[in-house]
Structure 1
Amino acid sequence: MGLDREWNHLEFTRHEIPAAHRPLEEELSFYNAVKEGNLIYVAENCIRQVFLQSEGMGLLSDNSLQNIRYHFVVTAAMITRYCIDGGMEAEKAYCLSDFYIQKMDKCQSRDGIADLHQSMCYDFTGKMQLLQRHNIFSKHIVRCIDYIYSNIHSRITLKDLAGYLGLSECYLSKLFLEEVGISIHEYIREKKMEKAKNLLKYSDYYIADIANYLSYSSQSHFTQIFEKEVGLSPKKYRDKYYRKSWSGGTDPS
């Protein structure tokens, strides 16, 4: 049976079946709640286990476990795009989505997927809640921050950023300081330190490799900066925090 004939047959057989999907307004309200950082609304939705309710859930697979997997991916994709529209750094949102989808791929039960779905929704909502507390950045600064996040492993200069945005270095530097509250140089250093801390906690990479990955001129230079910013040397930081929260949530800063 060709695709057109198969679709027409399916449409005909379902013609008298009551609406099988939840009202669009209900779904959009949930995505908007995540985008706006409305943790109360999102928590209420999760407590009612709306995600697992078969009534209104589209049939994407005849296999019930596979069906819930597909719906998880759809939710992750929609939340990601709503959060980006709400101001979350695009690359950060996509990485967070990829992280949860990969975790879901290892789940072997509907309840396990539902629990992870709740964690994902709380995580995105919490991050958006924090974002709402800060000033709304201009389009230039949002693009600037997104560029920094996407290229954190490289050596990023003010000249690179100004060229990418089509602005003068002086204007960008002034605008960034006004909106973010710290200089571009300080912001890049903070983000590199956040990435370094994650790599020290959650990976087995040598410190020299981490220094090289983050484009520091040498391991000693990286160690000097890290110790000044964090208060511990990279080795002492790893000894103290290595994988202590390996199974407890995320830290994809």
Structure 2
Amino acid sequence: MASNTLHTEENLALMEQLLQCGTNISLWKYSSDGHLVWTNSNHLVLDRIFENTGNKTYMLKCCTQYTAPLVMGGKLGLMWCAVFERRGSIPWAIYVLGPVFNSEISTANLEQSILDFDINRAWRRGYLEIMQGLPVVPSTLFFQYVLMTHFCVTREKLTRSDLHFQKWNPDEAVGTEEPEHDRMQVWLAERALLNMIREGDLNYQSAFSHANLLSGGVRAGSQNPILQAIVSCTSFTSLCVREAIQAGLSPDTAYRVGDSYIQSMIQCKTVTELRSINHAMYEDFVMRVHKHRTNPSVSALIQNCHDYIESHSEQPLSLRILAKRMGYSESHLSRKFKQETGVSITTYIQYARVERAKFLLMTTADPVSKIALELQFCSSSHFSTVFQEITGKKPQQFRREMQMK
């Protein structure tokens, strides 16, 4: 038993160092009854936030039921994860990773959280500094760290599908109903967001944060916060699709993009994941419309080519496939594409695939070889060569730098 304990402590010491490499994720150890044993964080106020959100209570209720890690979240987009250590069948200790944000958080939301978390007036300035210093870690990368920590504690190898996710949102489980929002203000905020899609306005962050503060979403007639969030996010996605089409995005592209995000939303198991995907969806449509509006010299034919290439970067693409799709001869399409864009179709396909690769490198833990295969590159080495030619960096270097930001 003593040997096993020593082995676990050595593994955790190594894991603690790994967590500090770029991401700076805090590690906390609690006894099975919830007392803090130790932490490498300098900010013990985070333990109070963990408790005030209801996550600690929820974790203690689950520690007798679960052996796989438990992912928990809060309405700010905060995430924690608990890894359970047992002695036989008896809960012995709980290791918590976090908190982290899974996306950038606005100052307005942080200031609102001062009231939500009941932060003492004397601590408010320090609280804001602490929260602004928390790491932003994509969910997929955070889950990978969680699985590694679980292995350090238990020597058991698990996958993403083995993780447990919070079945309710403790932020909303306080026995009081959510206050009614001013429906006119909610409607105005929603119209502002949709107008920004129509205009391709890149200065959308403050409006997006303001709308999140105002609205609790579409009423789903359910006490299940996950269902409530899914209904709200998928409804908003449908509105964004229509607005993008009115802004000039092709219906084929707009609906395909929207359907892809809706499928991801339906599969989410936490409100935190949903918020992250909802933010990515909105940003995606704004960027697509902005690109469309800032390239007025591109004809409808070439814009449709752009849209098709970007939406099918993980499928086989060629001049022949595009010409057949657009209804033009290969020679006419090739000549017109080069004339309007200044690059060949083959080169543009590579650009689109590299952009998709950058997204996958930032948001997943997939190995480079898998990403290369998904994006139709003949080999990992060919993918790395093309990626470096376009970005100036190798894929592994790009991923490391993005994780450190």
1:213 aligns with 2:385: no
Gaps of 5+ in 2: 1-182
Greater mean alpha carbon deviation, residues 177-186 or residues 86-95: 86-95
> What TM-score results when the alignment is normalised by the length of structure 2?
0.43
Give distance in 2, aligned partners of 1:236 and 1:45.
Answer: 32
Provide the TM-score with structure 1 as the length reference.
0.64
Q: 1:107 maps to what in 2?
A: 271
Partner of 2:314: 153
- CA-based RMSD of the aligned residues comes to 4.0
Secondary structure of 1:154's aligned partner: coil
The within-5 A match list for 1:53-132 is 59-61=219-221, 63=223, 65=225, 69-88=230-249, 89-90=253-254, 91-96=256-261, 101=265, 106-107=270-271, 121=282, 124-125=285-286, 127-132=288-293
Q: Which of these two proteins has the greater Rg computed from alpha carbons? A: 2
Structure 2 partner of 1:168: 329
Alignment of 1:232-243 (within 5 A): 232-238=393-399, 240-241=400-401, 243=403
| Structure 1 unaligned residues grouped into runs of 5+ | 1-20, 246-253
Instruction: Give the direction of change, closer, same or farther, for the CA distance of 1:191–1:126 in structure 2 (3 Å limit).
Output: closer
| 1:146-183: CA deviation from partner (whole Å, max 9, x where unpaired) | 32123312331111110111101121112222333322
Q: Quick one: distance in 1 between partners of 2:274 and 2:363? A: 23
Q: Which residue of 1 aligns with 2:344?
A: 183
For residues 52-71 of structure 1, the C-alpha deviation after alignment (integer angstroms, 9 at most, x for no partner) is 28xxx875426495556523
1:192 CA displacement: 1.2
CA displacement, residues 43-98 of structure 1 (integer Å, 9 cap, x when unaligned): 56863768528xxx875426495556523321221112321342444344544555
What does residue 215 of structure 2 align with? 52
CA distance in 1, matches of 2:386, 2:202: 37
8 A contact 2:192–2:207 mirrored in 1: no
The answer to whether the 8 A contact 2:368-2:395 is kept is yes
| Alpha-carbon displacement from aligned partner over 1:73-124 (angstroms, at most 9, x marks no partner) | 212211123213424443445445555x36976227xxx9889867765664
SS of match in other structure, 1:211: helix
Would you tell me which structure has more helix in proportion to its own residues? 1
Task: Return the structure number with greater relative CO, CA threshold 8 A, min gap 6.
Answer: 1
User: How many residue pairs are counted as aligned between the two chains?
Assistant: 217
C-alpha distance in 2, partners of 1:233/1:38? Answer: 32
